[in-house]
Each structure stands twice: as structure tokens, then as C-alpha cells.
Chains A and B, each alone.
Chain A
């Protein structure tokens, strides 16, 4: 199914649905400290199940996380960004995980902004949040750059998470 999904293009990036060939960079990231604020550092089996679930999310929901690539370099995955709404999630989320090498160039911001436009304009979402570990300062900074504001009253998957609520569709 992902093959039929039109890709998202930004000034520098192409976003395509996450695919089996993204396993190696995803696995390296999930088994590293980079995942300490996401799900916690994973072992090999845990990383693989998460990865398979990322693909399954697309099949079940018809949308999911996009692999971020530089336009013209389709094979190098810089990270994954996009909508995330598994069972038991209080609200529709926009998530981002950048791999090593995908940081420091503003790619996460550029991709997340495009993914947010996609969920509002194409998927028709009326609101979106991002759930962030309170110690994940870089992710909080990104949420704030995107104009998201802390919503302490909102439900969250884990009691320690912070909820950042994105501006309404008409505001972005």
C-alpha cells in the first residue's frame, strides 16, 4: 500500500512512507541512547517489533511515519517523522525521531512542519499533539519552534510525558 502514497516534498527533503530498507538505520537508532526518551533503549527483538509495527501502522490506519530523506538520495534515511495513532493513544500525535547524521541541519523541523501540513490538509485532523519526555530538551525545543504549546490538562499515554499541542490547522 505505501507504494501508492504520494511522497511529500519540501525545499530540501523528500518524505516517503517507512519501508523495509530503512531497517538498518532504524535498528541502530533504537538500540542506542538516542531512544532513551522515546521508548527506552531497545534490544534487537524489541527494535525489530517496533520497526515492523511502524510498517503495520500504515496498513492498519492508512497513514504512519514518513522516512525523511534528502531529495535525490532516496536510500539514506535521516529519520522518521509523522502521524502516530496506535490503540490507547489519547489523541492524534505527530512524532519525530532523527537518526545519527540527520541532526543539526534543521531537517526535523522542515520535515515535521511538512508532516503537520499533511495531517491537517490531507488527513483532515483538527488537532495534533506531541508527547515528549520532560528530559528530552531538544525535542521540546523543536516542539516550541513548531509553535506547539504545553497543554498540562491533556491526557497522555504515560504520566511522566509532557503534552505539546500544535497550533490549529487554520493557524499554520
Chain B
């Protein structure tokens, strides 16, 4: 699959498109900040550009990759989500990063849920993991909200990461976790919804 063939995915609030050159400044801002500390950062300008170029090259090499998350109405970018498997990765990963000032609105959940659905139904994936730094509590919490559970027996990248295994397509079908994800996303989408409390994480 070439870069030009990257599918466009739509959710309630978001559009997921392949990473474009003009989106780079947002990516650079995040990867040169402390926000990227669990993802190999912070990076200098050259390193950030090379990683962005690699995000684009990943699509061409693997046929899947990370989408840029856009607001459906304004086109503003909020982060990236999708699949990631550079050489040395034991399994195909579902990964995400949200720009620091866009966190807390459920965008990662909405985008990642859609990306996983796409890989399961269109990409033929029957399994996926997320490799997460054990100190990255926000990401661990998101993995759990997506129904992933820590897999102590799975191979890690380098021994410094925890492996969270996503539910299989079969496990997700008509499941309580799938209903829960849909409900949570719908609550984020409805600005009038007033939750009785917030998850502490």
C-alpha cells in the first residue's frame, strides 16, 4: 500500500487521515516536549523530523501505520493513533499520542477504538498489543478502558515496557466492554452530559 492509499476513517467527532507534511509542526511541538518522554522523547528538531518521516514511511513499508487525528469540523489536529510495528517489535501494536493541550476529551479513546475496529474488520488482524512504559499511567488507563489487559507472558520490546493485550475481535463482539466504550465515547460527544464523578487517573 502506498502513502496515497491510506484509508480515511470517520467517527462521531473525528476524521483520521494519513500524516501529511503540513501536520508536522503539531507533531514536532509534542515530540520536542516532555509529553513524549514515554515515547523516546523529547527529541531535537532533526530527530523529530526523522521520526515523522518514519511515521509516513511505515505506511509504505507495512501497509498500515499511524493516522493523524483531525477534528471533523475544524480539521485541527489532536494527535495520532493507529498501528505500529517497526523492526524488532514482537507483535503488531495499537498506539496513540495526544497533543498535551488536547488531552482529557476522549479523543484517544475514540480514535483508537476506530483504528482497532478497522484493523480487525478490514485489516485481517486477529490480535493486537500495546507496549506501554509502566510509568505512563494515562496510557495504561486508556488501554484498560479499551478492554486490554496486561499480558505477563508476552514478549516485550526491550524489557522496559509492559504488554497490554487487546481483546480479540471475537471477544469484543457484543461484549460489555464494547458497550462501555460506546457509552463513554457518547458521553464525551454530548457536552450536556454531566457525569456524577470522574475516574481518578
**Are A and B interaction partners?**
yes
Interface stretch, picked from A53-61, A99-107, A127-135, A160-168, is A53-61
1/0 per position for B80-108, CB-CB distance to A under 8 A?
00000011100000000000000000000
Give the complex CA separation of A47 and B88 in angstroms.
10
Interface size class of A (residues with CB under 8 A): 20 to 34
The residue in chain B whose Cβ has the minimal distance to the Cβ of A48 is: B87
User: Is B2 among interface residues, defined by CB-CB distance under 8 A?
Assistant: yes
Interface size class of B (residues with CB under 8 A): 20 to 34
Q: Which residues of B contact A43 (CB under 8 A)?
A: 88
Q: Which residues of B contact A86 (CB under 8 A)?
A: 46, 49-50, 53
Contact of A23 among B21, B46, B61 (CB under 8 A): B61
Give the complex CA separation of A57 and B52 in angstroms.
9
Contact of B57 among A44, A59, A87, A89 (CB under 8 A): A59
Give the complex CA separation of A1 and B2 in angstroms.
7
Give the complex CA separation of A67 and B65 in angstroms.
24
Give the complex CA separation of A86 and B55 in angstroms.
14
Give the complex CA separation of A155 and B57 in angstroms.
28
Q: A56-B54, A59-B21 are in contact. Are A49 and B45 (CB under 8 A)?
A: no
User: Is A88 among interface residues, defined by CB-CB distance under 8 A?
Assistant: yes
User: Is B125 among interface residues, defined by CB-CB distance under 8 A?
Assistant: no
Give the complex CA separation of A48 and B21 in angstroms.
20
Contact B56 A87 (CB under 8 A): no
Contact A55 B57 (CB under 8 A): yes
Give the complex CA separation of A23 and B87 in angstroms.
10
Contact B46 A88 (CB under 8 A): yes
Give the complex CA separation of A168 and B46 in angstroms.
27
User: Is A108 among interface residues, defined by CB-CB distance under 8 A?
Assistant: no
Give the complex CA separation of A59 and B87 in angstroms.
21
User: Is B17 among interface residues, defined by CB-CB distance under 8 A?
Assistant: no
Contact A1 B4 (CB under 8 A): yes
Q: Which residues of A contact B55 (CB under 8 A)?
A: 52, 56
Q: Which residues of A contact B4 (CB under 8 A)?
A: 1
Q: A1-B4, A88-B44 are in contact. Are A57 and B87 (CB under 8 A)?
A: no
Contact A51 B57 (CB under 8 A): yes
Which residues from 112 to 160 on chain A have a C-beta closer than 8 Å to any C-beta of chain B? 157
Q: A1-B3, A1-B4 are in contact. Are A53 and B86 (CB under 8 A)?
A: no
User: Is A50 among interface residues, defined by CB-CB distance under 8 A?
Assistant: yes
Contact A44 B88 (CB under 8 A): yes
Contact of A56 among B44, B52, B88 (CB under 8 A): B52
Contact B51 A49 (CB under 8 A): yes
Interface residues, chain A, CB within 8 Å of chain B? 1-3, 20, 23, 27, 43-45, 47-57, 59-61, 86-89, 157
